Amino acid sequence: MSTTTTPEHSDDHGHGHDHPEHLAHHFESLEQQFDAGKLGIWAFLLTEVLFFSALFVAYTIYRGNYPEVFRFASQFLDTNMGALNTIVLLFSSFTIAWGVRNAMLGQTGLLKMNLVITLICAGGFMMIKKMEYEHKFHEGTLWAGHENTIFRLDPNDVPEDMKHHSTAWDNRNGDFTMAVKDLDPEFRQKLGIFFGIYFCLTGLHGIHVLIGMILMVWLLMRAMKGEFGPTNFNAIDFGALYWHLVDLIWIFLFPLLYLIS
Amino acid sequence: MPSTNTLDRTNYLNATKGFMSWFWTIDHKRLGLMYLWSVIACFILGGFYAMKIRLTLSGDVDFATQTAEQMNAYNNAFTVHGAVMIFLVIIPSIPAALGNFVVPLMLGTKDVAFPKLNRFSYHLWIIGAVLFVATLFIGNLDTGWTFYPPYSTGHTDPSVITAVLGAFILGFSSIFTGLNFIVTIHKMRPPEMTWFKMPLFLWAIYATALIQILATPVIGISLLLILVEKTMQIGIFTPELGGDPVFFQHLFWFYSHPAVYIMILPGMGVMSELIATFCRKSIFGYKSIALASIAIAIFSFIVWGHHMFVSGQSELMSVIFSALTFSVAVPSAIKVFNWIATMYKGSIAFTTPMLYGMSIIWLFGIGGLTGLFLATLGTDVYFHDTYFVVAHFHYVMVGSALFGFLGGIFYWWPKMYGVVVDNMASKIACLLAFVGFNMTFMPQFIGGSKGMPRRYAAYGESAGFDGYNEASTLGSMVLMTGLVLALGSLLVSLKNGKKSPANPWGGVTLEWQTPSPPPEHNFEIDPPVVGDPYDMTLVEWKGEEEGFLPVNPRADAPCVADVKPSA
């Protein structure tokens, strides 16, 4: 081992190690580099869980205090769309996990295919989400402070025990639509809070999906250059872990928001 | 034997030149220095607002004669002072500035685990700081540093948006720094350095980093929600829309109570290094100090409710939080007693860093013990929102965290710049700061105990608080003089300071085994010798020129051998 160098801009960083190609200068071995990255990504995922935690706590508190509002409000969400998105995300979690295996085995073609499928699924998820959001803006089922917030629902869908909240029926559209804007003001406010929580949770999750898509593009570009292989799959592995977390959060969001009854 | 000072050779400071070689560096030492100077710049900004507060309060303005404009300016001053000092100064001070510089050196590694992430943290910090400073020009932020709704979400000044966004981004900077340190300490220790052979500064940084990654995301989302609430009226926190403002307080203090330990734990870590080195004694109760850091980190998460005794939480909750809060006193006291026990029969060197260290024992003693008054449910209902609270947290945040930062700067200054600052000026500066600090905040304890409320722009003569305000303002002048002198002595040393050998103080931790300042990749021999970090018999004094040297140097090379002179 060299003890006599002065490390000025030398590529071997002055220590004369036999540095493998993918080993950063400050690590001793590939194993140390992988372990550090693994611990780092898990610690980061922990911070992500905590980042979402405040909204889950908000959900728990408001649902605990106003269970009937949440049961009522949940009907405004499109369960079919939510279920479809759950399937799309679960499938993308499978393809990215397969991609990690591909990288480990050096199957570059399959790796690229799986990354592309994952990316398409993520895009599909966002498209479906966009349709859901547009529908809500159209219907006016929005958060408490939005000027266009009006809650309309077919009276047949209104549970019997909810009907006493209604003080008026809206006949404008020819069909019987209950205008929740005329409901008991406190009930209506809490409805708005449900949608506030809905938009915050799904919006924050959507931002994470978008970040995941950027990540996939970056991984795909590196895969195109043939960077990944049995000795260098860390980035794919860690990216996949992030994607699984994004998937996992949705798996909690779907029943908590859509399947209340 | 060649000199262990590398100022006239190649070192990390002069290895590369130009703006980009600093701004785009991944070298933890350069990033540490950039954090240091950025923090000092922000400290001057925060200090300016502190003086503005003090000058307003000692003026002759009566409540009745103050204009609304003057009062708004006062509200703005204490908000900016608090927010800048907390988010931009104390939180990054020791972990980001000193930690970045020292942690890899103490571990004998070339860098932190994720150098590029480290650079990203610093750039995020800059963006956050710019947004904060922009707030000053946009409007009159007057919510207090806590951003409580409905102050922050209603019809307040729009500058709350940039401030909250800035704090949100600073939070991510802090998370990534903490994450880096956790992975670095876990995965990059030399094989011989077991957990219980780590320097106590690393234990403190590790405990701090745990809090950073576990608590900071919660303030991140809370601030984001404030932002959404302010711009879109989501309704979660705003009472007008059916939301619950106390819910924000819970989220806020879930972070911000642990955050006070983000501020104080690294100061305690610096303290342990100072005490051992300058008493020439192995630290007393090593394991208990190390584990006390972890205990404080854990307890910090279960005591947040003591900020909310009068916010309308249930009585049962308040009683439980009050009882739990006392638990923090135990590990804190363990540390203080261990420091004192280390000093007992030690060979104490009254160097500038040590003077800061000894100040901390006094200041943290007062700050910590008065915390118990506030933890006690009955007394806190009386003390809440009085100057007693203000004095208490300044004794901890300034008296301990900031003095720890200053002690750390003077202690590691030789390693950073290759010059020692330990002269009459720097010692007088410490003395002035210590005296000035006590003059500023001791009267506030007395005023607070007589019910003097905080955050008032004027009290009026009949209230009887003018004497305390006058004394406090006088003290703050002395404090400011001390701090300016300290900064001056550091700056002068850069020009013509006394050159420092590798180990001027006699520390046994690894950073003293490399020349001052270190080469680009930290160590010239690889890996450095790892021993007991507090066995003072491992080094001996060889005179001014050579400083302390290892008693049994490695056979292959001392840290200074065969270094080429720079071109």
- Interval A111-135: pLDDT, tens: 999 999 999 999 999 999 999 999 8
Distance CA B274, CA B449 (A): 34
What pLDDT is attached to residue B237? Answer: 92
- Exposure of B330 in the CB half-sphere (CA atoms within 13 A): 14
- Interval B496-519: pLDDT, tens: 899 999 999 999 999 999 999 999
| A171 confidence band (pLDDT: 50, 70, 90) | very low
Count Cβ atoms within 10 A of the Cβ of residue B272 and give its class: 0-12 exposed, 13-18 middle, 19 or more buried. buried
Distance CA A221, CA A230 (A): 18
Shortest distance, CA B37 to any CA of chain A (angstroms): 25
**B235 and A39 in contact by Cβ < 8 A?**
no
| B372 confidence band (pLDDT: 50, 70, 90) | very high
| Best residue of B9, B213, B521 to probe chain A, by most A CBs closer than 10 Å | B521
Q: How many CB atoms lie within 10 A of CB A174?
A: 6
Residue A226 has φ and ψ, to the nearest 5°, of 70, 30
- Interval A176-188: pLDDT, tens: 445 555 567 777 7
In a domain, A148, yes or no: yes
Distance CA B435, CA B425 (A): 15
What pLDDT is attached to residue B61? Answer: 66
| A153 confidence band (pLDDT: 50, 70, 90) | low
Distance CA A71, CA A77 (A): 11
**Tally of domains in chain A:** 1
Using a CB-CB distance cutoff of 8 angstroms, which residues of chain A are in contact with residue B215?
50
| Best residue of B192, B241, B256 to probe chain A, by most A CBs closer than 10 Å | B241
Contacts with A, B 321-380, CB within 8 Å: none
Q: Which comes out higher in pLDDT, residue B491 or B154?
A: B491
Distance CA B295, CA B331 (A): 7
- Asked if the C-beta of B187 comes within 8 angstroms of chain A's C-beta atoms, the answer is yes
In a domain, A15, yes or no: no
In a domain, A23, yes or no: no
**B242 and A13 in contact by Cβ < 8 A?**
no
Q: Which CATH number is A137's domain given? A: 1.20.120.80
Distance CA B234, CA B221 (A): 14
Mean pLDDT of B256-283: 95
Distance CA A1, CA B554 (A): 14
Give the domain extent around A211: 44-258
In a domain, B4, yes or no: no
Distance CA B247, CA B304 (A): 13
Distance CA B445, CA A202 (A): 48
What pLDDT is attached to residue A4? Answer: 39
Using a CB-CB distance cutoff of 8 angstroms, which residues of chain A are in contact with residue B216?
47
Q: Which comes out higher in pLDDT, residue A10 or B82?
A: B82
Q: Which CATH number is B311's domain given? A: 1.20.210.10
Q: What is the dihedral of CA A178, A179, A183, A186, to 10 degrees?
A: 120
pLDDT-wise least confident of A242-246, B44-48, B525-529: B525-529
Residue B484 has φ and ψ, to the nearest 5°, of -65, -40
Distance CA A85, CA A201 (A): 15
**Tally of domains in chain B:** 1
pLDDT-wise least confident of A164-168, B155-159, B160-164, B346-350: A164-168
**B232 and A50 in contact by Cβ < 8 A?**
no
Mean pLDDT of B470-488: 96
Mean pLDDT of B297-322: 93
Using a CB-CB distance cutoff of 8 angstroms, which residues of chain A are in contact with residue B243?
144, 193
Which of the 8 DSSP states describes residue A179? E
In a domain, A36, yes or no: no
Distance CA A254, CA A78 (A): 11
Mean pLDDT of A23-44: 92
**B561 and A4 in contact by Cβ < 8 A?**
yes
Average pLDDT, chain A: 83
Does the pLDDT at position B476 exceed 50? yes
In a domain, B566, yes or no: no
Using a CB-CB distance cutoff of 8 angstroms, which residues of chain B are in contact with residue A43?
179, 182-183, 213
Does the pLDDT at position B193 exceed 70? yes
In a domain, A37, yes or no: no
pLDDT > 90: percent of chain B: 79
Mapped onto helix, strand or coil, the DSSP state of residue B499 is strand
In a domain, A91, yes or no: yes
In a domain, B140, yes or no: yes
Mean pLDDT of B211-235: 93
Distance CA A119, CA A125 (A): 10
**B16 and A9 in contact by Cβ < 8 A?**
yes
Does the pLDDT at position A174 exceed 70? no
CA B419 vs. chain centroid, Å, equals 23
What pLDDT is attached to residue A28? Answer: 86
In a domain, A21, yes or no: no
In a domain, B5, yes or no: no
Map B128-182 to HEC letters.
HHHHHHHHHHHCCCCCCCCCCCCCCCCCCCCHHHHHHHHHHHHHHHHHHHHHHHH
In a domain, A2, yes or no: no
Using a CB-CB distance cutoff of 8 angstroms, which residues of chain A are in contact with residue B236?
58, 193, 196-197, 200
Mapped onto helix, strand or coil, the DSSP state of residue B373 is helix
| Best residue of A6, A34, A195 to probe chain B, by most B CBs closer than 10 Å | A6
Count Cβ atoms within 10 A of the Cβ of residue A82 and give its class: 0-12 exposed, 13-18 middle, 19 or more buried. buried
Phi-psi region of B539 (alpha: psi -120 to 50; beta: other; left: phi over 0): beta
Q: Which comes out higher in pLDDT, residue A171 or B525?
A: B525
- Interval B318-354: pLDDT, tens: 999 999 999 999 999 999 999 999 999 999 999 999 9
Q: What is the pTM of this model?
A: 0.92
